Amino acid sequence: MVTLYKYRHETIVDADAESTFAWFEHEGSFRRLMPPWEVAEEVRADESLEVGSQRVFKFPMGPLKMTWVAEHTGYKPPHFFSDTMVKGPFWSWDHDHHLVEENGVTKVIDEVSYQVPFGALGNFADRILGGLLVRGRISQMFTARELRLQRDMAQHSKYSDQPRRKILVAGSSGTIGTQLVAFLDTGGHEVWRLVRRKPKEGANELQWDPSSGELSSEILEGFDTIIHLGGEGIGDKRWSSKRKKTIRDSRVDSTSLISDAILKMENKPEVLILASAIGWYGNRGEEELDEESESGRGFLPEVCADWESAAMKVKEAGVRTVFLRTGIVLTATSGALGKMLLPFQLGAGGPMGGGKQWMSWISLDDEIYAIHHLLMNKGSSGAYNLTAPKPVRQKTFAKVLGRVLRRPAVAPIPGFAIKLLFGQMGVSLTLESQKVMPNRLIDEGFEFLHEGLEAALRDSLGLWKH
């Protein structure tokens, strides 16, 4: 016999039930509620929570991909909705959401009835571990959901008196773009994606082809915000001459294409927000860097300088233009942290090249909320460093990550080994020192969720202290 387990979780949201329910109804809520350490691919999300609508995603289980199909079975806005697992790893999964409002504050009550994967065998294994095998992961997931819901609602409330925007995002499939699109959608903005493939039928998507210089200014008409986050991955492959050209051209040429199209628009957008990077500053040792610091020397500073220059004609045309000089974004599913996790989990992590170099990092949610701040504040213009206010030396980063994972982090990786394995790419991304401060964001009153590294890592990995 397979045991039916019950789980209950309560979240307090500083908003009325109607606003909270509306957040859940947006398609982007599904992505925002996904735990940040889960590698999940969203296949389909219907636009409502009404009975019969479905949300489908895939996630890895070892070498295979498991599909989860959730179908909504109850819908009484703004106080109740429910869903059941039609297909997925659990023997059964039924999830009720109750929203109870009192004095303008909403209690979201999640009640789950489930039977563990693999039936009686899974039930036996779970009992041996005292019910912690599955219940622990469920508790971890709902804690992440609670934090995201509370934080997103608080961020949106800051600008609830402003009109909703019509936003076009290029580079929407990357880690930052995926979360940004979902977050903006839950805020009630009309968000469209600028994609290279054929647009999906019925989706808010428009097509362009930056490799062949194809982008009609006509399809940009009506957008008051254009965000460009695209570009080939800097740390994906060794830097051959061909790869370096691809990295540069994918950023500079696509930005020039968007800029030229904006100049031809009859009604130009209010703001263009362009991704850049702290690579602008180059290897600067102990120097403390802010937005007034000059560009450095070398491949990445030159790419960033050309990248930002490609949008200057838009700024000169009177469009508010924002440059996002982003540091190391902490996410467990990709980027620098994603690559570090396995060796650190195996106890093989440690200082790189001596570990004295400065690392300027930012949590994924702070990255999203900072972009939102710059989008909604019409006085924000020019270059901004998107980094936490407390950069750390690499050896400190390694020590803190080891502590969070409860693993030793003392295995040194000499600089020559990094250069041998990864070439110039490895040297630039792991050994060069950049102590970058987000002075302009702080001066504008932006409040970071994660000023310190340990809290940011625990949040990213779901390893909070209790």
Domains observed in the chain = 5-157 (3.30.530.20), 166-461 (3.40.50.720)
Element (H, E) at 145: helix 132-157
The whole-model pTM stands at 0.95
C-alpha to C-alpha distance for 265 and 398, rounded to whole angstroms: 49
The answer to whether residues 136 and 129 touch, using CB atoms and an 8 Å cutoff, is no
Write the CB contacts of 356 (distance below 8 Å, at least 6 apart in sequence).
393, 394, 395, 433
Could you give the residue ranges of the DSSP H alpha helices within 160-240? 175-186
The answer to whether residues 29 and 97 touch, using CB atoms and an 8 Å cutoff, is no
Could you give the residue ranges of the DSSP H alpha helices within 172-298? 175-186, 241-264
- pLDDT tens sequence across 304-325: 999 999 999 999 999 999 999 9
Write the CB contacts of 415 (distance below 8 Å, at least 6 apart in sequence).
352, 353, 354, 427, 431
**What b-and-e string marks burial along 286-310, b requiring 16 or more CB atoms within 10 Å of the CB?**
eeebebebeebeebbbbbbbbbbeb
Tokens of 289: 């860097």
Tokens of 261: 């199209």
C-alpha to C-alpha distance for 298 and 427, rounded to whole angstroms: 12
Written as tens digits, the pLDDT of the chain (466 aa) is 678 999 999 999 999 999 999 999 999 999 999 999 988 888 888 878 999 999 998 887 767 788 999 999 999 999 999 999 999 989 999 999 999 999 999 999 999 999 987 655 555 555 554 456 788 899 999 999 999 999 999 999 999 999 999 999 999 999 999 999 999 999 999 999 999 999 988 899 999 999 889 999 999 999 999 999 988 888 888 889 999 999 999 999 999 999 999 999 999 999 999 999 999 999 999 999 999 999 999 999 999 999 999 999 999 999 999 999 999 999 999 888 998 899 999 999 999 999 999 999 999 999 999 999 999 999 999 999 999 999 999 999 999 999 999 999 988 888 888 887 778 887 788 889 999 999 999 999 999 999 999 999 999 999 998 7
C-alpha to C-alpha distance for 29 and 75, rounded to whole angstroms: 16
Q: How many residues does the chain have?
A: 466
Write the CB contacts of 197 (distance below 8 Å, at least 6 apart in sequence).
207
